[in-house]
């Protein structure tokens, strides 16, 4: 059988349902902009390179967070621990206020970025934007890793699977 030379793209609902079967780590990405800490939950995160150390995350093209990245090139990424589901849920909530959104999430400010690092974490990274690529309705942000630290050895993590956040040990 000869493949169709111009196949149609998959239906977005079918794609969403199928990709939900791919477990993904749950993180929080944060940036300080105009004196306000902006943060978001992200599961589209990946290690890109060890030399130099690079990682990436994806952000919706018209989000407040994406707008901040046009003005600030340093940000922090927290790999959430297995007990941090409430923080992940809150920072994924649409319509949450920009000012004070981290008031209910224990955090410290990164010394290299000034961005929030969630305390309940398995690992932390502070990064500087290297490149941003448009990809459909999201942008892929690639960052140079300025620092990387691990949390307590016994900490687990969170995964996003089938539309739910689940702890793993």
Q: How many CB atoms lie within 10 A of CB 141?
A: 24
Four-residue CA torsion sign, 55, 40, 37, 62: positive
CATH architecture of 24-153: Roll (2.30)
Model confidence, pTM: 0.94
Which among 33, 66, 49, 65 has a CA at the least distance from the CA of 135? 66
Beta bridge partners of 50: 53
Domain boundaries along the sequence of the chain? 24-153
Angle (CA) 53 131 141, round 5°: 80
Beta bridge partners of 108: 117
- Per residue of the chain (169 residues), give pLDDT as tens: 888 888 999 999 999 999 999 999 999 999 999 999 999 999 999 999 999 999 999 999 999 999 999 999 999 999 999 999 999 999 999 889 889 999 999 999 999 999 999 999 999 999 999 999 999 999 999 999 999 999 999 999 999 999 999 999 8
HEC assignment per residue over the chain: CCCCCCCCCCCHHHHHHHHCCCCEECEEEEEEECCEEEEEEECCEEEEEECCEEEEEEEECCCHHHHHHCCCCEEEEEEECCCCHHHHHHHCCCCCCCCCCCCCCCEEECCCCCCEEECCEEEEEEEEEEEEEEECCEEEEEEEEEEEEECCCCCCEEEEECCEEEEEC
């Amino acid at each position: 059988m000869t493949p169709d030379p111009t196949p149609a793209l998959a239906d977005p609902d079918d794609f969403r349902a199928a990709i939900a079967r791919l477990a993904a780590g749950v993180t929080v990405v944060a940036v300080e902009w105009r004196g306000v800490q902006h943060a978001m939950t992200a599961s589209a995160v990946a290690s890109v390179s060890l030399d130099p150390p690079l990682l990436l995350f994806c952000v919706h093209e018209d989000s407040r967070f994406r707008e901040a990245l046009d003005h600030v090139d340093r940000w922090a990424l927290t790999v959430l621990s297995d007990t941090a589901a409430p923080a992940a849920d809150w920072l994924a909530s649409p319509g949450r206020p920009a000012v004070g959104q981290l008031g209910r999430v224990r955090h410290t400010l990164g010394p290299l970025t000034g961005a929030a690092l969630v305390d309940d974490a398995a690992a932390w990274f502070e990064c500087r934007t290297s490149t941003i690529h448009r990809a459909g309705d999201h942008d892929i942000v690639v960052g140079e890793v300025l620092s990387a630290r691990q949390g307590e050895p016994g900490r687990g993590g969170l995964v996003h699977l089938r539309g739910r956040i689940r702890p793993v040990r």
